[in-house]
Amino acid sequence: MALPPQLKAIQHYLRTAQEHEKRDPVVAYYCRLYAMQTGMKLDSKTPECRKFLVKLMDQLETMKKDLGENDSISQEVVGNAHIENYALKMFLYADNEDRSGRFHKNMIKSFYSSSLLLDVLSVFGELSEENIQHRKYARWKATYIHNCLKNGETPQAGPIGMDEDEEAGEFGAEGFSGQGASFRGGGSFRDQDHSLDPGPAPGIGFAPGPGSGPSGPPTTNYNNIHIPPGAHAPANTPAELPPPAEADKPVPAPRSVPAVDPALLHATQQGGVHLSPEDFTLAQKYCKYAGSALQYEDVGTAVQNLQKALKLLTTGKE
């Protein structure tokens, strides 16, 4: 079924879902869930849009049933970690290529796809400030490098200034300003309290930036934004990104593993520490993040999250 023009803003998320149908069904599922929630806010009353969204709901129902035994679908914390780790893995691959001065189509797509998946994280709740910064930087970098190459110019490698008012152009999109109603727990999509009538749509859509987009280094300093060093990019790049030509392959960089706090090696709970239900939930979240990081052989992230969990459980403080 063709995508109605009123729902054009969700086309890139649906395309990303299609690309991951067999490669990573969890990514495909959450991309469609985000597209459905966003589409409902855009236009759920026009007959063609309503018909499209109902069909998308049916597709999500089928996927949810087929993937029901997958922890990333049945447990929200695990799903959140899965999408976040996948998005940041793509980001780090692109950032590593960028800092090394290797500009190519796959790197641009990786930057842009990571920004889309960071949008998708909003189905779990509000984005962290760090992920908001990563999303903005990735989306802008994709546009900047694309336009430089299109104009025959050499992009400037690594973090550089960007105009605060610069919108992403051909490869970019305005972020989703509102949080979609998260689909939680059991039951069907049709049982959720959205009834295809969510009210006025927020300002969302794919809007071209001024002119043809940035073609040279913008003016505002972006180096104060924390961007993970490309040297810490995971050894394995995302599945949809073919390896660069033999001559362009990067030299593997040594991994940086954070030092373990000696006080946590034989940690026991301190007297008088009372943990709240929220503390246990947060500790579980850190452990899930550590497990997801190990799936991508990201030892540093795993160690950091395990240390956070230990500190919280033994001291009651983050």
HEC string of the chain? CCCCHHHHHHHHHHHHHHHCCCCCHHHHHHHHHHHHHHHHHHCCCCHHHHHHHHHHHHHHHHHHHHCCCCHHHHCHHHHHHHHHHHHHHHHHHHHHHHHCCCCCHHHHHHHHHHHHHHHHHHHHCCCCHHHHHHHHHHHHHHHHHHHHHHCCCCCCCCCCCCCCCCCCCCCCCCCCCCCCCCCCCCCCHHHCCCCCCCCCCCCCCCCCCCCCCCCCCCCCCCCCCCCCCHHHCCCCCCCCCCCCCHHHCCCCCCCCCCCCCHHHCCCCCCCCCCCCHHHHHHHHHHHHHHHHHHHCCCHHHHHHHHHHHHHHHHHCCC
- Give the burial class of 318: count Cβ atoms within 10 A of its Cβ; 0-12 exposed, 13-18 middle, 19 or more buried: exposed
**What six digits make up the tokens of 105?**
């189509």
Instruction: List Cβ neighbours of 116 (8 Å cut-off, separation of 6 or more).
Output: 12, 13, 16, 31, 173
Position 260 scores a pLDDT of 62
Position 293 scores a pLDDT of 66
Mean pLDDT by 10 residues, the chain (318 residues): 92 96 95 96 93 95 93 92 95 95 94 97 94 95 95 90 48 34 44 37 27 33 38 38 38 49 65 77 80 69 82 81
Domains of the chain by start residue, with CATH:
5-228+235-248 (1.25.40.270), 262-315 (1.20.5)
Residue found by looking up tokens 């959450």 in the block:
30
Integer Cα distance of 144 and 139 in angstroms: 9
Q: What angle do CA 38, 40, 43 make, to 5 degrees?
A: 110
In the chain, the N- to C-terminal Cα span, in Å, equals 49
Position 50 scores a pLDDT of 94
Position 313 scores a pLDDT of 84
Position 299 scores a pLDDT of 80
